Amino acid sequence: MSARTRTTGAVLAALAAAAVAVPGATPVAALAAEPRGEAATPGDSGAGDPYFPFAGNGGYDVRHYDLDLTYQPPAPEPAPLVGRLSGVATIDLTATQNLDRFNLDLRGLDVHEVEVNGRSAEEVDPPSPGEQVEGAAYWRVQNDAQRQWELTIQPRPRLTKGERARVVVTYGGDTTRPTDIEGALYGWVTTRDGAMVVNEPEGAMTWYPVSDHPTDKATYGFEITVPEGKVAVANGLPRRKPVTKDGWTTWFWKAPDQQASYLTTASVGDFTLHTSKTDRGLAVVNAVDKDLTAANAATTSASLARQADMIAFFEDTFTRYPFNSFGAIVDDDSVGYALETQTRPVYSRVASESTVAHELAHQWLGNAVSPELWRGIWLNEGWASYAEWLWAEESGGRSAQASFEEVMAIPADDPFWTVVVADPGPLGLFVAPVYDRGAATLHALRLEIGDRAFFASARRWLQRYDDSTATTEDFEAVCEKVSGESLDAFFDTWLRTPSKPPTP
């Protein structure tokens, strides 16, 4: 036992006093075996986001996820549209408090085995409040009405603050087509030929145990085994060549950049992979479904051919591209939208040029710098939409000023102007004003503080909060600092007032 961990009589006495003072505190007898200052308490069941109170978890930080998945897509029609997923998730985390127990988010899917630091936990029924559970254990709470999907793990010995632990969860089950709070498809969306995997805002938990909130970014490794002939595409770059054995092919991907859980993907389909490099050496990996219509295939290949030029333009406008690679996953199925999955956006049926510009811009604005709370969604969608305007102008199309004027042509009595862009509510995350009034806000800001301060603010924002999360207030502070102007009234008018701002 080291000096640091030796418990003195005085510390024990203090712990005894604390146990008396705090109802429900862990008894001293239990602590005596694992003494470390503060009593070990349960980690929170959420990250503290009012839009999704049970998304993410407290008490630890994930450093890395290794996801070893095996997926059997549905049989041909008329078989039901149900796949079969089995997984081993190896999660390396650091306790941020003395932890009696902690949660992971996992929706549906069965858990077969849980190990912490190589010691296996026993499945038990959820204890009632105040009830103690003996020994290393885990249990599930699945409450669809509350959007509360939790796997609680009670490690023994308890984890101490700062301790690193490896959690291995073996799990699996049938996959269907989960939906988000507004009823849109998301998560592991089973398709006839595979799966389209798009998690925004908290759909990662439909396919792996996760702390499902952008404030807990981590790195990822993937090993995805699918029937021979199918292609599995995840974030980042291939770690090695696929391996085929007994009719199954394993695809290896690694994503070494910090990544929010809503941006992970492991899509499966009848894809053709195309790999290239930009002039400055950035790897581009495109996965295009073999079954796109001829018209969609033509549009898609024309758009993807512009990716290198778009990257160069946004690097000039913003900062260096933030990740190790880029590319696209273009599925012949549809979830009804595209998503900026990190390094490799997913597109439904076709990738148009403006959508590719939008999803690329998100790699900086949304992915490298992510919303700290989901109410800050306009920082993603307003910026990506504004970047679309900038790309249109750069590539000989409509000017950003003309795009701005189109938004400002919406009549003042249109309900468009009633959305509070800085806090649109969980059902308002993806409404048009978040995108278009968000973009107009940025253009109005540019008119207010001038091009120099505007683009310097964008770069400062990206440097200051790279690999992290930030709020609307943080953005305002950066703009005020860089421009030297007081912008409170400006941002209140544009982001917090449910009426049309005066046209500048």
Residues near ligand ARG (CB under 6 A) = 180, 184, 186, 200, 337-340, 358-359, 381, 430
Q: Are 160 and 98 in contact (CB under 8 A)?
A: yes
Please tell me the distance from the alpha carbon of residue 130 to that of residue 475, in angstroms, as a whole number. Answer: 42
Nearest to 345 by CA among 333, 332, 320, 362: 362
Please tell me the distance from the alpha carbon of residue 227 to that of residue 194, in angstroms, as a whole number. Answer: 10
Q: Closest approach of Cβ 9 to ligand ARG, in Å?
A: 57
Q: Closest approach of Cβ 362 to ligand ARG, in Å?
A: 6
- Of the pair 251, 378, the CB lying nearest ligand ARG is at 378
Q: Closest approach of Cβ 367 to ligand ARG, in Å?
A: 10
User: Which partner from the list Zn ion, ligand ARG, none does 289 bind, CB cut-off 5 to 8 Å by kind?
Assistant: none
- Of the pair 91, 189, the CB lying nearest ligand ARG is at 189
Distances (CA, A) of 319 to 43, 62, 363, 462, 464: 37, 27, 11, 7, 12
- Of the pair 97, 472, the CB lying nearest ligand ARG is at 472
Q: Name the closest residue to ligand ARG (Cβ).
A: 184
- Of the pair 212, 480, the CB lying nearest ligand ARG is at 212
Q: Closest approach of Cβ 310 to ligand ARG, in Å?
A: 15
User: Which partner from the list Zn ion, ligand ARG, none does 339 bind, CB cut-off 5 to 8 Å by kind?
Assistant: ligand ARG
The DSSP string of 338-352 is: -B--TTS-EEES---
- Both tokens of 196, joined, read 């389209």
Residue 203 — φ and ψ, nearest 5°?
-100, 0
- Of the pair 97, 355, the CB lying nearest ligand ARG is at 355
Please tell me the distance from the alpha carbon of residue 152 to that of residue 101, in angstroms, as a whole number. Answer: 7
- Of the pair 186, 491, the CB lying nearest ligand ARG is at 186
User: Which partner from the list ligand ARG, Zn ion, none does 11 bind, CB cut-off 5 to 8 Å by kind?
Assistant: none
Q: Starting at the edge strand that comes first in sequence, how are the strands of the sheet with 283-289 ordered?
A: 271-277, 283-289, 325-331, 346-348
Q: Which residues bind Zn ion (CB under 5 A)?
A: 381, 384
CB atoms within 10 A of CB 27: 12
User: Which partner from the list ligand ARG, Zn ion, none does 180 bind, CB cut-off 5 to 8 Å by kind?
Assistant: ligand ARG
User: Which partner from the list Zn ion, ligand ARG, none does 184 bind, CB cut-off 5 to 8 Å by kind?
Assistant: ligand ARG
Q: Closest approach of Cβ 338 to ligand ARG, in Å?
A: 5
* Alpha carbon of residue 247 to chain centroid: 33
User: Which partner from the list Zn ion, ligand ARG, none does 430 bind, CB cut-off 5 to 8 Å by kind?
Assistant: ligand ARG
User: Which partner from the list ligand ARG, Zn ion, none does 230 bind, CB cut-off 5 to 8 Å by kind?
Assistant: none
- Of the pair 67, 361, the CB lying nearest Zn ion is at 361
Nearest to 286 by CA among 273, 299, 302: 273
Residue partners of 363: CB distance under 8 A and separation at least 6:
321, 322, 323, 326, 340, 342, 343
Q: Closest approach of Cβ 359 to ligand ARG, in Å?
A: 6
Nearest to 153 by CA among 246, 241, 57: 57
Q: Closest approach of Cβ 328 to Zn ion, in Å?
A: 15
